[in-house]
Structures are given as C-alpha cells and as structure tokens.
Amino acid sequence: MTASPLIEFIAREHPAFVHLPLGLVAALPVAMLGSFHRQGRSLLATSFFLAAIGWLASTIALFSGLVWGRQINLIGPSSFIPVVASEKQVLQRILQVHILAALAGFLVGGLCAFLLWRTWRRDSHVGADGKDHRHHAGRRFWERGVGAPALLVGLIWLGCWGFSGKLGGIMVFGSEETNKAAAEADKAKRNDLEADLPIRALDYASLEPAEPDPIRSKAHGDRWRRVWVTASGIDAYKAGKALPPGAYAVMSTFSDVKGRPGTEPGPLYMKETKADGSTAFAFYWARIPEALQKDFGNQDSVYWRSPDPKLATCLGCHEKGGSPAK
C-alpha cells in the first residue's frame, strides 16, 4: 500500500498526537474540581471546552492509531483490532487492550462532554421565576459546579486513557515482557530452520524412494507423484503402517501430459510424525501457474505448515497420521 505523505505523517505521529487529548483530559478533573468552589463559576465553561476539544482531538488520535497499526501489519488491512493467534503474540495482546481502553475512554468521554454541556447550558440561564438559579444558588454540594456525576465520569475517562497510554508507551518503548517475547520469537525463528522454506522437503531426493515409478494421484491435484520416506520410516511405510516418531514422507509431484508424467513441478507435500507422536503437514508450491493462483488467494507461491488452518483438508483424508486407503 502506498499512502499519501499526509496519511503517512498522521500514522507515524500517533505517539505524538495522543498527547493533546490526553493532556486536556488530564487537566479536566482539576478544572471540574475548581468549579465546585464559590468563585469557580467560569471553570464550568472551561471544563466543557476542555472536554469537547479533548474529545474531538481524540478522533485524530484514534484514526492515526488505526492507520499506523495497519501499516505495520499489526492490524489486518480491513480489521480494526489485531488477532491474537498464540500466547506468544504479546504485542498483539497488549494492542488489543490498548485499543479497547482507548475506545472505552472515547465513549465515556462523549458522555462526559454531554453532561458538561447540559450543565453549562442550564447554568447560563436565569430561571423563569426571575430568580438567579445559576451556579451555586441553593444547591447541595455535589450538585454545584459541574456536578459530582460529571466529575466521576471525567475521572473514569482519564482512567481509561491513562491506562491505554501506559500500554501505548510499553508498545513503543518496550517493557520487560515485550522485550522478552521479542527475544524468544527471535530465538525460536533461529532454531526453526524451516520457518521460511521447507528445507527437508526440498531435499526429498536424499530420502528412500517408496516406489520405483511415478504414480498418478487423484487425491493431490491429479498430478503424477513420487513418495520419498526417511530411512527410519521406509519399512513402516511399505508395510502400510503409521510412520514412527521422527520419520517423514515427502510427495513430489509433477504435471500430467496427455496421461503421461510431464516435467513441470507441482507442489511438494510433506507428512511428518513428530517426536511426540503428533502428525504435522506441509504444503509447498514454489511457483503456482497463473491459471491456478485464484485458488491460492492470488499468491504466486505458498508455503503452509501445521498448524496452518489451510491444511485442514489434508487432515480430512489423513486422519490419525496413517496412510489413507488407496
């Protein structure tokens, strides 16, 4: 996505924009408290304007936060909140709470501005009986000034945004938890040699061929296939048994030309029995022909690994890790 320079600016400066509404809302309770004082009359109007400007300014902050989150791929291009797929996505989890707290503050803030507006309007009138009902005239303490309910709502508003801001600070500057999570993700990626490419599947020719000749496989895109199995699993495979832990099978595929095996490579399929006995799948297609790309989310290449939900179809036939009936 290429955004206009203005949108780019609005997105990148999110950490700066938020300080305007936050500062106004931090000053708000002070003005509100002052309005309870006998001489604090003008502070009612001040409170209303602080709240109104803070609330309006926050719309820019909310918008810039959304655009920023989408630009750095923490939020999907058409979503409003990040998806947390695993425990380790600490940043996404913090961002979710950050957004919810900001939105809660926005709703509470709207209510607060409305309450202040109503009180301000009422107090700038002289009653029909000609008496001055303004400000403190004959009111109980909690009904004076902006009134206790508005003060309470204002404090909740500040609480929501203060909390959201604290989480924002953690996301920008890091905390022990996020830094630890980032380091762990880094380490996991370094230890996971196949994070970017299915290295073992690509090296299938180093394994034991399960059959001498290619066989046509209706179940895997109606291509020709050959199955290659690790030495540790070839006997089990030939006996039609489940592969032992640590063993894996790779199915290389190629095109069909008029009912005979062609040479155009198709996808690589991999099935592995992990050390803990569970089954993992991988599907790798380095170059998807243009005509088929629409079936693959318009990608020109895909690499899926368990637990990718796109591999659910494999499980449909390959239950329990055993070879399906042919």
Contact status: 227 vs ligand HEC (CB under 6 A): yes
Closest CB to ligand HEC among 51 and 249? 249
Binder among 32, 160, 249, 288 for ligand HEC (CB under 6 A) = 249
Q: How far is the CB of 215 from ligand HEC (least distance, A)?
A: 7
Closest CB to ligand HEC among 102 and 207? 207
Q: How far is the CB of 298 from ligand HEC (least distance, A)?
A: 19
Contact status: 317 vs ligand HEC (CB under 6 A): yes
Residue 76 CB partners (closer than 8 Å, separation 6+): 70, 82, 83
DSSP assignment of 90-110 equals HHHHHHHHHHHHHHHHHHHHH
Contact 113, 25 (CB under 8 A): no
Binder among 270, 273, 279, 288 for ligand HEC (CB under 6 A) = 270
Residues 273-292 that bind ligand HEC (CB under 6 A): 281, 283
In Å, what is the CA distance from 222 to each residue of 145, 153, 237?
Answer: 78, 65, 22
Strands (E), 191-309: 208-209, 215-217, 223-229, 248-257, 260-273, 279-285, 302-305
Piece in contact with ligand HEC (CB under 6 A), picked from 131-139, 159-167, 176-184, 218-226: 218-226
Contact 55, 110 (CB under 8 A): yes
First to last CA, the chain: 46
Closest CB to ligand HEC among 17 and 304? 304
Contact status: 219 vs ligand HEC (CB under 6 A): yes
Closest CB to ligand HEC among 14 and 226? 226
Instruction: Tell me whether residue 224 is exposed, middle or buried, using C-beta atoms within 10 angstroms of its C-beta: 0 to 12, 13 to 18, 19 or more.
Output: buried
Closest CB to ligand HEC among 67 and 227? 227
Contact status: 240 vs ligand HEC (CB under 6 A): no
Which positions touch ligand HEC (CB under 6 A)? Answer: 217, 219-220, 225, 227, 249-251, 269-271, 281, 283, 311, 313-314, 316-318, 323-324, 326
